[in-house]
A and B are shown apart, each in its own frame.
Chain A
Amino acid sequence: MCGIVGLFLKDKALEPRLGDLLSDMLITMTDRGPDSAGIAIYGGTTAGKAKLTVQSADPASDFTDLGSDLATADIDAAVTIKSTHAVIEIAASKLGEIRAILCDIRPNIRIMGSGESVEIFKEIGLPKDVVSRFDVRSMGGTHGIGHTRMATESAVTTFGAHPFSTGADQCLVHNGSLSNHNNLRRELVREGMTFETQNDSEVAAAYLTAEMAKGKDLRQALTGALDDLDGFFTFVVGTKSGFGVVRDPIACKPAVMAETDQYVAFGSEYRALVNLPGIETARVWEPEPATVYFWDHEKAA
């Protein structure tokens, strides 16, 4: 099964409530998959700044003095620790450099995602525990996606949890299972992509990243996925300013969407949407099979 949710805000007045609304949506989907849960929040951008979300199995030792050790390596960083994760804010120009430095000074930490806006938090456990561990409810932002997992294709680990991020400010959640992911992974490795897991959904994320690196926008990349990915999928995808949804042509993985003047929302089930403001009068529909849905803050403006 798996449960996936997404919320793309059009009304800035709702932005402080993004984490709270998304948390409720995800917790409602708990019984679709209790193995692990994750959430990606696009918290907004600060000019010239970039963020990395990192994870450690031993946060007490890895995160202690992380800021000062980065300063010693000539990186001015603001480190915010949230349980097993930390968000490191740095100058955008240092984003390439810091990865190598982190490998060197903190070899055991893993990078969950990076970009100008996105922060990614995921762990083994129920959505309610993951949400409270990372204090997701207090987070504001422009859009976000979440996932609660019933594992099928790879192990129940922090890194097998969704969302998967394979490019700056890009992330993906997936309900379904892909059947051509091994072959596609080999092709993507040949093109220079790197993988953290044996998970099929990570291949989908990397595929979209690779396609967008070739110049496609999210809509075009998702359209390509319909031809190049084989298997069952409902994807919800985030980029720095965009939000996309696509289902495979068979469309047996459930999906419901709602749109009002204030937001676009996605849920595996309608139950996930019932607490959203104005849902009673929202336009609610089931996304069509093999059809790309896409919203973008920059293109809408």
Chain B
Amino acid sequence: MPVFDLSQTPLRELNSALHTLGAGANDTAFEVVNPRGHHAVAVGIDTSVVVEIKGSVGYYCAGMNDGGTVTVHGSVGPGVAENMMSGTVIIEGDASQYAGATGRGGLLVIKGNAASRCGISMKGIDIVVKGSIGHMSAFMGQSGHLVVCGDAGEALGDSLYEAKLFVRGSVKSLGADCIEKEMRPEHLAKLAELLGKAGITDVKPEEFKRYGSARKLYNFNIDNADAY
């Protein structure tokens, strides 16, 4: 298993090694030690490689991930898993601003808290936060799911499109055009699935409330519902 010590090795060597992995590559598990808050650690992965990062990182960790499984044994700076396409990113600690922003797919799990703008402009990503999230989260969220086991800050889901939001604790305030919605069986089933994937066993889907778009702010047309 390749081990990259970022106190000794330039970051670009790690990211180049991850980018040159082709189909059928022998090295499928990487370990990164001493990340020391570096930015852009393990960005642009496009295979099913597994990366274990032992420590805290800076901006944009695992950005654009497409198929990789990245675990950070520490906390992450702004923009973790930004624009993720597919795969899984797991943060054992806390995440700073705009975690999972613009993500198109895959699963982002944050075991601590996430700061402001979590899931901003999300477009299909699933985000599960075991702790709480900050203000303006899921702003203009288009599709995907945001699951929060703790509380949400101000203006949750402002200008929301069709992303589905589930919060177990309190919501400080809802943003424009975001409302609480009925929790139907298919939502409970989806919540159970996402909590299961995130390895969270001590909370029940029934403990959450669902929030979504009131569909008054944007030109929602029921005929286009399948597009989301």
- Contacts from A to B (Cβ < 8 Å): 249, 251-252, 254, 256, 269-274, 284-286, 288-289
User: In the complex, A284 Cα to B94 Cα: how many Å?
Assistant: 9
User: In the complex, A249 Cα to B75 Cα: how many Å?
Assistant: 23
**Are A270 and B134 within 8 A (Cβ)?**
no
User: In the complex, A270 Cα to B38 Cα: how many Å?
Assistant: 9
**Are B37 and A289 within 8 A (Cβ)?**
no
B97 CB-CB contact with A under 8 Å? yes
Which of chain A's residues has its CB closest to B98's CB? A252
Chain A nearest Cβ from B125, distance in angstroms: 21
A269: contacting residue among B77, B94, B135, CB under 8 A: B77
**Are B37 and A270 within 8 A (Cβ)?**
yes
B58: contacting residue among A270, A284, A288, CB under 8 A: A270
Chain A residues closer than 8 Å to B115, beta-carbon distance:
251, 286
User: In the complex, A107 Cα to B94 Cα: how many Å?
Assistant: 53
Interface centre among A252, A269, A286 (most CB of B within 10 A): A286
**Are A271 and B58 within 8 A (Cβ)?**
yes
**Are B116 and A289 within 8 A (Cβ)?**
yes
Interface mask (B115-148 → A, CB under 8 Å = 1, otherwise 0) = 1100000000000000000110000000000000
Chain B residues closer than 8 Å to A256, beta-carbon distance:
77, 96
Interface mask (B164-187 → A, CB under 8 Å = 1, otherwise 0) = 000000000000000000000000
Interface secondary structure of A, over-half rule: loop
User: In the complex, A273 Cα to B78 Cα: how many Å?
Assistant: 16
Query: What are 18 A-B interface contacts by the 8 Å CB criterion?
Result: A249-B135, A252-B116, A254-B78, A254-B97, A256-B96, A269-B37, A270-B37, A270-B58, A270-B75, A270-B77, A271-B38, A271-B58, A273-B37, A274-B36, A284-B56, A286-B94, A286-B96, A289-B134
Seed contacts A270-B37, A270-B57, A286-B96; 8 additional CB < 8 Å A-B pairs: A252-B116, A254-B78, A256-B77, A269-B37, A272-B37, A274-B36, A286-B94, A289-B116
**Are A251 and B37 within 8 A (Cβ)?**
no
Chain B nearest Cβ from A250, distance in angstroms: 8
**Are B116 and A254 within 8 A (Cβ)?**
no
Chain A residues closer than 8 Å to B134, beta-carbon distance:
251, 288-289
**Are B96 and A254 within 8 A (Cβ)?**
yes
**Are B97 and A252 within 8 A (Cβ)?**
yes
Which of chain B's residues has its CB closest to A31's CB? B39
Chain B nearest Cβ from A27, distance in angstroms: 14
User: In the complex, A249 Cα to B97 Cα: how many Å?
Assistant: 13
**Are A251 and B116 within 8 A (Cβ)?**
yes
Chain A residues closer than 8 Å to B94, beta-carbon distance:
285-286
Chain B nearest Cβ from A274, distance in angstroms: 4
Known contacts A252-B97, A289-B116, A289-B134; A270/B56 CB under 8 A: yes
User: In the complex, A285 Cα to B97 Cα: how many Å?
Assistant: 12
**Are B75 and A284 within 8 A (Cβ)?**
yes
User: In the complex, A251 Cα to B116 Cα: how many Å?
Assistant: 8
Chain A nearest Cβ from B74, distance in angstroms: 9
Interface mask (B5-24 → A, CB under 8 Å = 1, otherwise 0) = 00000000000000000000
Known contacts A254-B96, A284-B75; A271/B116 CB under 8 A: no
**Are B96 and A274 within 8 A (Cβ)?**
no
Chain A nearest Cβ from B68, distance in angstroms: 22
User: In the complex, A284 Cα to B113 Cα: how many Å?
Assistant: 12
Chain B residues closer than 8 Å to A284, beta-carbon distance:
56, 75
B36: contacting residue among A249, A252, A254, A271, CB under 8 A: A271
Chain B nearest Cβ from A251, distance in angstroms: 6
Which of chain B's residues has its CB closest to A287's CB? B115
**Are A271 and B96 within 8 A (Cβ)?**
no
